[in-house]
A and B are shown apart, each in its own frame.
Chain A
Amino acid sequence: MDSRNDGAAKDAKKSDEVVETPAYSQENIQHNMRIIYYSRTFLSIVGGVVAGVLGLTGVTGFLCYFVIMMLASAGIAVKTKFDVFSFFDSWNRITIDGIAQGFMSFILFWTFAYDIVHIF
Chain B
Amino acid sequence: MVLGFMKPINSKFKANWIFLFYKAIEVAFKLIFLRSGGREMAGADMAVGILGALVLAHAAYITILYRGDLKIKEEEFVRPPIQVWIEVLISLVLCLWAALRVPGTFLPILPDSKENRVVALPANLDFMTFNHRGKLFAPELEAKFTKS
Task: Please tell me if the beta carbons of B26 and A45 are within 8 angstroms of each other in the complex.
Answer: yes
Task: Please tell me if the beta carbons of B108 and A117 are within 8 angstroms of each other in the complex.
Answer: no
B92 CB contact (under 8 Å) in A29, A38, A50, A76 = A50
Give CA–CA (A120, B21) in the complex, Å. Answer: 14
Q: Which residues of A contact B26 (CB under 8 A)?
A: 45, 49, 109
A101 at the interface (CB under 8 A from B): no
Task: Please tell me if the beta carbons of B63 and A117 are within 8 angstroms of each other in the complex.
Answer: yes
Give CA–CA (A29, B20) in the complex, Å. Answer: 39
Of chain B, the residue at the smallest CB distance from A79 is B100
> Shortest CB–CB separation between residue B17 and chain A, in angstroms?
11
User: For residues 11 through 41 of chain B, which have their beta carbon under 8 Å from a beta carbon of chain A?
Assistant: 11, 13, 15, 18-19, 22, 26, 29-30, 33-34, 36-37
Per-position contact with B for A26-64: 1 when CB-CB < 8 Å, else 0?
Answer: 001101101100110111011001101111000000000
Task: Please tell me if the beta carbons of A35 and B80 are within 8 angstroms of each other in the complex.
Answer: no
Q: Which residues of A contact B77 (CB under 8 A)?
A: 55, 118
A72 at the interface (CB under 8 A from B): yes
Of chain B, the residue at the smallest CB distance from A45 is B30
B109 CB contact (under 8 Å) in A54, A79, A89 = A89
A5 at the interface (CB under 8 A from B): no
Q: Which residues of A contact B120 (CB under 8 A)?
A: none
A113 at the interface (CB under 8 A from B): yes
* Interface of chain A: mostly helix, strand, loop or mixed: helix
Given contacts A45-B26, A46-B95, A117-B64, contact A75 B100 (CB under 8 A): yes
Give CA–CA (A5, B34) in the complex, Å. Answer: 60
Given contacts A25-B116, A87-B108, A120-B13, contact A35 B56 (CB under 8 A): no
Of chain A, the residue at the smallest CB distance from B137 is A12
> Shortest CB–CB separation between residue A114 and chain B, in angstroms?
10
Given contacts A55-B80, A117-B67, contact A28 B96 (CB under 8 A): no
> Shortest CB–CB separation between residue A71 and chain B, in angstroms?
6
Task: Please tell me if the beta carbons of A42 and B67 are within 8 angstroms of each other in the complex.
Answer: no
> Shortest CB–CB separation between residue B87 and chain A, in angstroms?
9
Give CA–CA (A34, B36) in the complex, Å. Answer: 10
A-B contact pairs, 9 of them (CB 8 A): A22-B110, A24-B110, A25-B107, A38-B37, A50-B88, A50-B92, A53-B80, A68-B92, A72-B100
Other than A46-B95, A54-B88, A112-B22, give 18 A-B pairs with Cβ distance below 8 A. Answer: A25-B110, A28-B109, A38-B33, A42-B49, A42-B95, A46-B52, A46-B99, A49-B26, A53-B56, A54-B79, A55-B79, A75-B99, A87-B106, A109-B26, A116-B15, A116-B64, A117-B63, A117-B64
